[in-house]
Chain A
């Protein structure tokens, strides 16, 4: 009897792979990674092959599908710099320069392996659609294709833990499927209010052999903001949102 129940359970668990909507799963992944509107603190650590590190402390606020802003809290040389993304537009504000300048998703305001697209990341469903979905052991493998040419990575391969509906690994690829970087989602943690997600994101790249960058999340929570917080005019005042 137990054998029958076991076989039935395996069969039922296998079924979803064939009836599963990839885009729905991606939406779930997005919501499990973060509320649609939230605030969060993170530390970005660039690690060189010889072990030397450079660290940045960063405050992020996000609203809805396409608005995200950030403020550097440390080190002192970066403190006060802010970033803003509204849809496909990205800007960097440096207090000494005094006015925002447009930046691109492929640049990096912190150096290292993470670029602006990784730091100011929108929901995956906002920028990608799922082309294919496959089983990969206990995970599902989603093949994502960028919706527009302006997205940083043309293709993504996302491995999703089906129990937690969270990504475990992400490969970022060019149109020709060349690997740009791999992102690993680690140390799942309860951030409170039902938000359970990876607290550590690591990345490495075959283009930067021996280098690694790590993002450590803390104090992520759901929060609503006015649209005006995500404007060029407000870039010098993002600290007032803390």
Chain B
């Protein structure tokens, strides 16, 4: 595999290009749209049977690597990369729809291009592609690839039985869906129960369909029952069928006062599997009936500060002992490789990092806090924020300050840093990075 160390001069050039681009874009006039004073032309609101749109994204990232961290060692044990390590990412996300009568075809395609120490890579994925038929206002049938996005939590969703895991540090990113057949049947009522909605879902899993959902050659059945009851959103959810172990749960969301919202989720998973690794790299399989739950709140102050706070518990996650054992194994394997060139153990350690050990928040107890301030100092369309994720088990954490500016129509700028803190053998202490700085520009069309 060919790779190239990025020189300091090249990193300074990349950084100065980013700064110049940032200032050029900021100085563009805010009126990038034809603003006809106080007029709404009918051509602006004509409905067409088709739509094509999306966004283009440019996202350079600077990774400050932690060469002593276990997840650095499994990733780079036989490579010599620069530190910090620069990566540039480009994304094109296209979405289109076509409507005829009661039917609608929708697709969202995502293309990621990356230039890193491994050279250029490109990946194009169909995130969603489905046919929707709406015979009445109460009934919608959909078939194809789509995301379900179940759950009320912001950073975690224990009841998202049909979704891929999301990054709690960036939970709004859209994800690839699964191929499903679903029905939404909705009824409205007067009285305390205002809405009732039932969504049954079929999820087939085979060699070329949903192959990464779970065990193959099963037709899985899931469902969600939604109520709006006494001004509270409530969902009852379940999944069964064989590709994954049976599970069920509920979630809720309610405004206690207009500016204070509470939400929660609870899920019970039958025979949840995990494969902890001991200090010698020996895996063991454990199956437990596990609860996972989340309790959160969102509060808006009179000064337009939004606070989102969540507690998350996942009984199927790794304990402190299990993660310490794995990280100890990684360090021992890395030392062995450095001394003898024997890469067998470190490669095994790298394989384990592709599973639960490499996932976001793989342990059991976490706190999440996000504070964002709308337009401080009267700077319009500017929103700084700070996000913290704290591992209650090993007391390691991450802090992510960010600055978001959306003052130019169809352009969005975000500068975000993520800083990881933790002792050795802790989750955030053993991540590949000490810090990460990312600048993201999105152009919507």
Contacts and interface: CB of A to CB of B under 8 A. Distances in A.
Interface of A: 41-43, 45, 48, 52-55, 57, 59, 73-77, 79, 86-89, 94, 96-99, 102, 104-107, 111, 149-150, 187, 200, 208, 214, 216-219, 225-234, 237, 239-240, 242
Interface of B: 29-31, 33, 35, 38-40, 42, 44-45, 47, 53, 55, 99, 104, 132, 134, 136-138, 140, 147, 149-152, 172-174, 184, 186-188, 194-195, 197, 199, 226, 228, 231, 233, 253, 255, 257-259, 261, 298, 300, 304, 375, 378, 380-381, 406-407, 409-412, 442, 444-445
Contacts of A96: 172-174
Nearest to A230: B188
A97 B172 contact: yes
Given A43-B40, A79-B53, A227 B134 contact: no
Interface of A, helix, strand, loop or mixed by DSSP: mixed
Contact of B186 (A214, A216, A233): A233
A86 B35 contact: no
Contact of A55 (B35, B140, B150): B35
A98 B31 contact: no
B30 A77 contact: no
A48 B45 contact: no
Nearest to A241: B137
Contacts of A107: 300, 304
B137 A218 contact: no
Given A45-B35, A45-B38, A232-B233, A225 B137 contact: yes
Nearest to A56: B409
A214 B35 CA distance: 12
A52 B29 contact: yes
A42 B444 contact: no
Across chains A and B, which 8 residue pairs bring their CB atoms closest together, nearest first?
A: A227-B188, A52-B30, A98-B149, A77-B444, A226-B137, A76-B444, A99-B149, A218-B40
Given A73-B45, A102-B261, A237 B33 contact: no
A198 to B, nearest CB: 12
A106 B187 contact: no
Contact of A102 (B45, B140, B255): B255
A59 B445 CA distance: 19
A104 B300 contact: yes
A234 B187 CA distance: 11
A152 to B, nearest CB: 8
Given A53-B35, A75-B33, A97-B149, A88 B44 contact: no
B195 A232 contact: yes
B140 A89 contact: no
Contact of A104 (B29, B38, B134, B258): B258
A102 B253 contact: yes
A231 B150 CA distance: 16
A54 B409 contact: yes
Given A41-B40, A55-B33, A218-B45, A75 B380 contact: no
A102 B262 CA distance: 10
Contact of B444 (A75, A104, A200, A233): A75
5 contacts: A54-B30, A77-B442, A98-B174, A187-B38, A227-B188
A86 B228 contact: yes
